[in-house]
A and B are shown apart, each in its own frame.
Chain A
Amino acid sequence: MSARRAEVRVVRAGALTTVQDAGRPGYAHLGVPRSGALDRPAFAAANRLVGNGAEAACLETTVTGCAVRPSRAVLAAVTGAACPVRVDGRPVAWGAPVLVPAGAVLDVGTAALGLRSYVAFAGGADVPPVLGSRACDLLSGLGPAPLSDGDVLPLGVDRAGPPGGADVVPCRGLGRELVLPLLPGPRDDWFTPAAERTLAAGRYEVSARSNRIGLRTSGPRLERAREGELPSEGMVLGAVQVPPDGCPVVFLADHPTTGGYPVVGVVPEEALAAAAQAPPGTPVRFVPLRGRPLPAGSRG
């Protein structure tokens, strides 16, 4: 491929399509969320398939996909939520590098499994980085705005290596239920023993009010052992916060860095990709883990 700059024009932005990369970790103390692609393995696979480095920015679609028209021939790949992919109306491969000719329309269709597809272009989406990242952060408004019809995205200089092959491209959303391991703490002691049993055995489902900030659930209320307010405190990615309605919220990439409702446990990062692909109505099961206890004088 030559090193000429290219751009893609947004023909159909879809329900919510954002530019995402590995995010901007390291700024939580300033109130800046990590942000970045919700399904990290799918994002990484998309970049690998077109020969990009791990830091290149992709598009993250939501349910209805998107359609774009490149100004010159560009290698693209779609991963994440499984969906029909077409070039000028002809079906092409999902989960594989596809050469999109200049002026042709790459249409990423509605997700058949999962919610969010990742669209990588050789060279990456080259919008101006903010604090070292091109990720669109919907909580704090940092980074590029969500795509609109007619937007033009510059692509980076395609000095991509050869497209990567893949034996297996991860595709989530195949499970009939979302199983989320849970490391208890820091505020599990704010809940009754009954609440702990409810959380482990309760039938929760993914709420339609979920977004990039958090996966909201509906189901049995978790009863608090202590009332009163918790002074705002730092929250990690995957924190399961219990707001006054008693239903757990699993915090995803755009989560607030501090919060004032108790966090009953934390879902490990590797389990969050599945959470990002679980449609509303998916049954959710929390599986409390026994983490290595913290030493005496502290509480795990």
Chain B
Amino acid sequence: MRALRAGAAGVLVETADGEQAQALHAEVLRRRAEGRLPGGPGPGGLLEVVPAARTVLVDGLADPAAFAAAVAGWGELPPPVPGSGGTVELPVRFDGPDLDEVAAGWGTSREGVAEVLTATAFRVAFCGFAPGFGYLAGLPEELRVPRRATPRTAVPAGSVGLAGPYAGVYPRSSPGGWQLVGRTDAVLWDPGRDPAALLAPGTDVRFTEVR
């Protein structure tokens, strides 16, 4: 792990891969909850912990150097404990416009795609793109899906898509280039709800099939 300076109060920690980034994210959250984050904020101080594809950004540190020194000594971290970030079941109708294309790419049928996705233990690795849009890790590397050559100008809210190694659900209607395999009625993002985001980083996610 490499700790890089990100401003006066921030450290960007670079990990070897996505799994280590998730493990580091879980470790930072655990230590923060226990009040044992080295160099962490003082009482009432706000800490932003932003995981991403291969990094975790920690901003709002009282002592970034102390945090960086400590992280360097954490070494290889165990994978996050399943359920430690909560679990969400998403009922999905697998009838997306790109389902045939994904099935062809995977050398299976439409039903085969649904079977793979409902059998996969996903975890929200990070959020981005739009509030409440979670990047769900868990698909094996050989099932990577290319983005669409031409993004759609409008993808309906609740659309379940695949891109690269990730699955994701559009929290609201927006343009998008993911391959759409289905839809869910679950409300992914509601700022009036606590929590606003159904799929916060660290959440375990299971797709179930609605026929």
| Residues of A bordering B, CB below 8 Å | 25-32, 130-131, 140, 142, 183-187, 231-239, 256-258, 263, 266, 268-269, 291-300
Contact = CB atoms under 8 A, between A and B. Distances in A.
B107 interface: no
A298 B4 contact: yes
Contacts of B54: 231, 233
Residue of A30, A232, A296, A299 with highest tally of chain B CB at under 10 A: A30
Nearest to A25: B46
Interface residues of B, number: 44
A25 B9 CA distance: 14
Interface in B13-67: 46, 48-57, 59, 64-65
Given A183-B7, A294-B3, A299-B3, A234 B130 contact: no
A186 B72 contact: no
B137 interface: no
A31 B132 contact: yes
B99 interface: no
B8 interface: yes
Interface of B: 2-12, 46, 48-57, 59, 64-65, 68-69, 71-73, 126-133, 191-192, 196-197, 200-201
A299 B64 CA distance: 12
A186 B201 contact: no
Judged by DSSP, the binding face of B is mixed
A296 B12 CA distance: 15
B52 A233 contact: yes
B59 to A, nearest CB: 5
A185 B48 contact: no
A236 B61 CA distance: 12
Given A28-B48, A29-B49, A31-B129, A234 B201 contact: no
A299 B6 CA distance: 11
Given A30-B127, A131-B191, A183-B7, A231 B53 contact: yes
A266 B8 contact: yes
Contacts of B133: 31
Given A231-B52, A294-B64, A263 B72 contact: no
A28 B60 CA distance: 12
A131 B131 CA distance: 12
Main secondary structure of the interface of A (DSSP, over half): loop
Contacts of A140: 130-131
25 contacts: A25-B48, A26-B46, A28-B57, A28-B59, A30-B196, A30-B200, A31-B127, A31-B130, A32-B131, A130-B192, A131-B191, A185-B12, A231-B52, A233-B57, A234-B12, A235-B6, A239-B6, A292-B65, A294-B69, A295-B69, A297-B73, A298-B68, A298-B69, A299-B4, A300-B4
B69 A186 contact: no
A300 to B, nearest CB: 5
B130 A297 contact: no
B191 A28 contact: no
Contacts of B132: 30-31
Contacts of B197: 30
A239 B7 CA distance: 8
Nearest to A268: B8
Given A26-B46, A295-B72, A185 B53 contact: no
A126 B136 CA distance: 38
A140 B197 CA distance: 14
B5 A291 contact: yes
Contacts of A297: 3, 69, 72-73
- The interface centre, meaning the residue of B12, B64, B72 with most chain A CB atoms within 10 A of its CB, is B12
A239 to B, nearest CB: 7
